[in-house]
Structure 1
Amino acid sequence: MSTKLKLVLYQIVSGTLGNALVFFRPEKARELSANRIALVHRNKKNLSISERLMRAALIQKLDKIQDYDVIAEQNRNFWINQSATDLFSELKDTFNTDFLPHCTFIFELLKSELSNHPEEFDTIVEIGTGNGDVLNYLSSEFPNINRFIGIDLCQDQIALNNKKYKDNKRLNFIASDAFDWIQTNGHDKTVFVTSRGVLEYFKESQLQELLNTIYNLGPTMFIAIEPNGADHNFETNPNSELYGHEPSFSHNYPHLFKNAGFNIWHFSQKVWFKATDKQTFVGAKSS
């Protein structure tokens, strides 16, 4: 029996079992599907085999959403409240299993860019800092940077971060909308960072406005580690498109950075999560 046929049979059997479990366990099904984004991102390690089957069946039943304004609003509403804190806690292991082995190479490249830049940078701002693990890591990797600021919509998570990292005096976590904070507090000689799923929740027009604002601050750099749909070809479709079950936005990041005036000094992509999407790495500078 071919591998492809085995996969098809597995999907049929698992789908049938999952749907049956959803039918016979409606209370558990409602619990699992209480929030769309949490359902999609839940750590399967924390679920029993029957719950994994139910989760897969429930994901397949999610209604398609095409209204970009509705999508952006729903995603924002999730990340701003306690549900985001719960998910950050559940996915905390991804710092060790995902970020450290797969993403840190771009910060080694950033070190070279900073050492060759005519001006000395003094601040790193992480947009969508989540549980703060990435920002804490960066504070150890860049000893010459004075300030490390983590911005996130979720006030509860920011409070947890400030408590967890109270002994690291170089870290400062702030509950705010990133665009609002940058308009008021952003300045030059800053490195902006996003890690593994932040800009995907911005509509294309919002993201372009954010990048334009950062570019106009003066000399800045930007490290973007963001997912894209596996079939999003930037050459044939330069515009943003929907992807995933949330859904979120697969952006053409090089195109948007260049539109804002940035120079791209690094661009690469890696297949992610069994080829259902890919991770895009962008290093950009405004001068």
Structure 2
Amino acid sequence: MKNRLKSLLIRSLTATLGNFLVFIQPKKARELAKNRITLVHKNKKHMSIAERLMRAALVRKLEKIDDYNTIAESNRDFWINNATELFEETEDGFETNFLPKSTFIFDLLKNEIADQTESFDTLVEIGTGNGNTLNYLSSAFPALKRLIGIDLSPDQIEINKRKFKGNNRLEFVAEDAMEWVKEHGHGNTIFFSNESLEYFLETQLQGFLNEVNQLGKIIFITIEPNGHYHDLSTTPHSQLYGNEPSFSHNYPLLFKNAGFKLWHFSQKPWIGGFDMQTFVGAKNF
């Protein structure tokens, strides 16, 4: 009880200080809040204590959005036009979060591939961002001939091409994932997403997985967030997630609906233990 009261007191004090700083520094507050998604994901490592307090206060004040189409359109516009700043701000997340917490699923993938009689020589990452994960996978899976990173941001794709020009197995493409799959997708491919499918509407994601399933033999790995309140065993449909907001999808069900079988499913507490990171490995053969 004593620790809980202490925590509540600290929260109350930081909220008061944050609101006060926002009030006396409106120009700085507008600068911090120029974009909703950037505000939510702002890298605290590079912020002063005052900026952190202001950011927390501003996040609490974000208005609630309930219209799913508006959310999806707003998020898509951000990832096309404004994503490079966020990718730069959060680049250290690859070392601090992804490598120690998520790479176990690729050890499982190696076992899955080893059991197949046919080779999988192509990997496609949906929402490649700064390209660090794709570059890592090129080292982890030396037998892969092509590793293709798809992203909506033309600016980020050009940055990636320059950044990884020494790795000729990597290809970076600025395109919508569904359109790319329709035009260039083929079987014997591994698909991968890391916190990208959360920006699809449920109907869009189901349609995308349906389309991927038609390509031939596919292995799919996805690492995506779910709200801690989203019980996947009882709630089939997607729910709003976070302050961006994005969508907490029922990934196991969506994959099964598209004709995939799961070879892995697990969840880990994420973001201070208040949300879940969901790991899914699926295949259609």
Instruction: Tell me the TM-score normalised to structure 2 length.
Output: 0.99
In structure 1, the residue matched to 2:55 is 55
- What amino acid sits opposite 1:192 in the alignment? F
- Which runs of structure 2 are paired with 1:214-253 in the superposition (5 Å)? 214-253=212-251
In structure 2, the residue matched to 1:177 is 176
In structure 2, the residue matched to 1:80 is 80
Q: Deviations over 1:97-155 (max 9, x none)?
A: 01110011000100111111121111000000000000000001111111000000000
SS at match of 1:245: coil
Structure 1 residue 276: deviation in Å?
Answer: 2.4
In structure 1, the residue matched to 2:29 is 29
- Which runs of structure 2 are paired with 1:152-171 in the superposition (5 Å)? 152-171=151-170
1:144 equivalenced with 2:147 (yes/no):
no
1:203 equivalenced with 2:224 (yes/no):
no
- What amino acid sits opposite 1:262 in the alignment? F
Q: Which runs of 4+ in 1 moved over 6 A?
A: none
Q: Deviations over 1:25-79 (max 9, x none)?
A: 0000000000000000000111111111110110111000000000000000111
Structure 1 residue 237: deviation in Å?
Answer: 1.2
Structure 1 residue 4: deviation in Å?
Answer: 1.2
User: Take 1:60 and 1:164, find their aligned partners in 2: how far apart are those partners?
Assistant: 36
Structure 1 residue 7: deviation in Å?
Answer: 1.2
- What amino acid sits opposite 2:201 in the alignment? K
SS at match of 1:254: helix
In structure 1, the residue matched to 2:126 is 127
- What amino acid sits opposite 1:53 in the alignment? L
Unaligned runs of 5+ in 1: none
1:3 equivalenced with 2:3 (yes/no):
yes
User: Take 1:61 and 1:145, find their aligned partners in 2: how far apart are those partners?
Assistant: 46
SS at match of 1:80: helix
In structure 2, the residue matched to 1:275 is 273
User: Take 2:6 and 2:241, find their aligned partners in 1: how far apart are those partners?
Assistant: 26
User: Take 1:55 and 1:276, find their aligned partners in 2: how far apart are those partners?
Assistant: 19
SS at match of 2:139: helix
Structure 1 residue 17: deviation in Å?
Answer: 0.7
- What amino acid sits opposite 2:142 in the alignment? P
1:189 equivalenced with 2:184 (yes/no):
no
Number of residues paired by the alignment?
285
Unaligned runs of 5+ in 2: none
Structure 1 residue 236: deviation in Å?
Answer: 2.3
Structure 1 residue 278: deviation in Å?
Answer: 1.0
User: Take 2:46 and 2:229, find their aligned partners in 1: how far apart are those partners?
Assistant: 30
Structural RMSD (CA)? 0.7
- What amino acid sits opposite 2:33 in the alignment? S
